Structures are given as structure tokens and as C-alpha cells.
Structure 1
Amino acid sequence: MIKVANKRSSCPISTSLEIIGDSWTLILIRNFFLGSITFADFKKAPENIATNILSDRLKKLMKYNLIKYRLNPKNKKIKQYYLTDAGINLYPLIYDLLIWGRNNLDMNIGLVASDFYKRNKNKKREDIIKNSINSYKEFKNSFLVN
């Protein structure tokens, strides 16, 4: 469980949004599921997050135990970030936002999202979420072992 000291509201939605509700945090969580692990990986995302904001959000995610990091065994100057179980548990929210956007926003869909929709066209929500989470956990475990 994530420890919070929220004096503003006793509503779980309000408190959750204080942690993950800014315009960058869920994009970073999404990028973990797309294979990002280093600061440089996150900087390469098409949304072009500023370095100071990226640094701030990574610190915030660590503060709330949504991510952790280890030092790259080959280069101790490079941090390799990964999601904790609490961070992984945000995937259903990421998935639902992706589907909501497809169904409700009049916009050009990017290649990554478009490929995701095609790959999962006739699959059930629960299966997609389960498979995505399991794939991330396998990736995380293999990179933490090395």
C-alpha cells in the first residue's frame, strides 16, 4: 500500500489524481509497458517531455513507490527504472484511457496505438490486460536478473 498524507480530501479518486493525475505521469507509466527503462528512453518518447519535468516525475513516482531503479551493471551512471506492483496495477487504467481515446476523440492515431488496436481487435479486455501485465513482468524479471 502507498502511504499518503492527504489533508485535502478523503476521496480515493482525489488522492489518486494527486499522485498520477498530471499530464505526464500516465504517459511515463505507458512507456514502461513499451519498454522504456532509462532516462534517455523516456526522453525519446514522441511527447517530448522536458528533462526537468521528466526528472521531477520520476522522483515523484519513486516517492510513491510506483517505480524503483537499479544501476546499470555495465555503467553505474545509468539508472534503469522499473515498475513496482503498484505501478503495474495502473495498466488497466492506461488500457481504458487508450480505448476511451479511440472511441471518443476525433484525432489521428499514432502508429504504436494503431498497431495495438489491430493486434488486439477481437480480444477481450481482461485477456489484453492480463497478457500486457504478464509481458511486462517477464521483461522486468529478465532485465533485473542480468
Structure 2
Amino acid sequence: MEYNDIVVAVDGSEASEKAFSKSLDIVNRNNARLILAHVVDSRTFATAEAYDRTLAERSENHAKELLDSYVDNAKTAGVENIVKCIEYGSPKIKIAKDIAGDFGADLIICGATGMNAVERFLIGSVSESITRYATCDVLVIR
């Protein structure tokens, strides 16, 4: 099977770094489009923003810088067809349903664990949710 459009969910965590590294080989082997996806979990700062109005802006700037660094690394690895995608909301829903659907992805690659250990403990991991709701193949990197 050949993959054409590969979404890689990145959040800056060690697990997403591993997923990104693995994705470079897969993208190059398949001559696929690399869709770097980062979801700013707006639920985490909705209440805090009442006290600090710059939180959303800083989160967006961080997301842009994060994706730019991944783009640079991908280009160094020989990937040419790269798309950056920043969304807002719940990563559990956005990655599997919205981003993968919008780009017609046939593979989603994500790390086994992300940045938010408390949420994972309380309501399950993002990677678990992606595998449950995605309509395409999902590769979870340990």
C-alpha cells in the first residue's frame, strides 16, 4: 500500500519527536505529502485568559515556531511537499476528524503519549482517541 497524504501530529513532546522522525522515512519512501499538524488545546487556557489576555497569542506564536522547526528538519531530510496546519480545540477530535478529513489523509502518525499526562490519566490519551475515530490508517509510535 502506498500513502499519499500523511498527517503527523506534533506537540513538541518526546513522543511526537519520535513520531516525526519515523514519519520522515515513511514520507520519503512513499513520495507523500507531509502534513504537520499541531492543535492548540484552547480548552486549557479558556479560563486563564480572563487573567492573561496574551495567552492565546503566545500559544499561536509557539505553535508557529514549533511547526517551522519541524519544516526545517523535514526539508533537511529531503521532504519537499510539506504543509503546516494549526487548529484550535481538542486534539482528540481535530486530528482524527477535521485535519485528516480536510487533507484527505490516508495515514496519521502520532506519538503514544503527548504533553498532557493529567488529561491522559483522567479521560484517555490523544493517540487512543485518534485510533478510535480516524477513518484512515493510524501509526502510533512508542
Structure (1/2) with the larger strand percentage: 2
With normalisation by structure 1, the TM-score equals 0.29
Q: Which has the higher contact order (CA 8 A, sep 6+)?
A: 2
When normalised by structure 2's length, the TM-score is 0.29
Q: Which structure would you say has the larger Rg?
A: 1
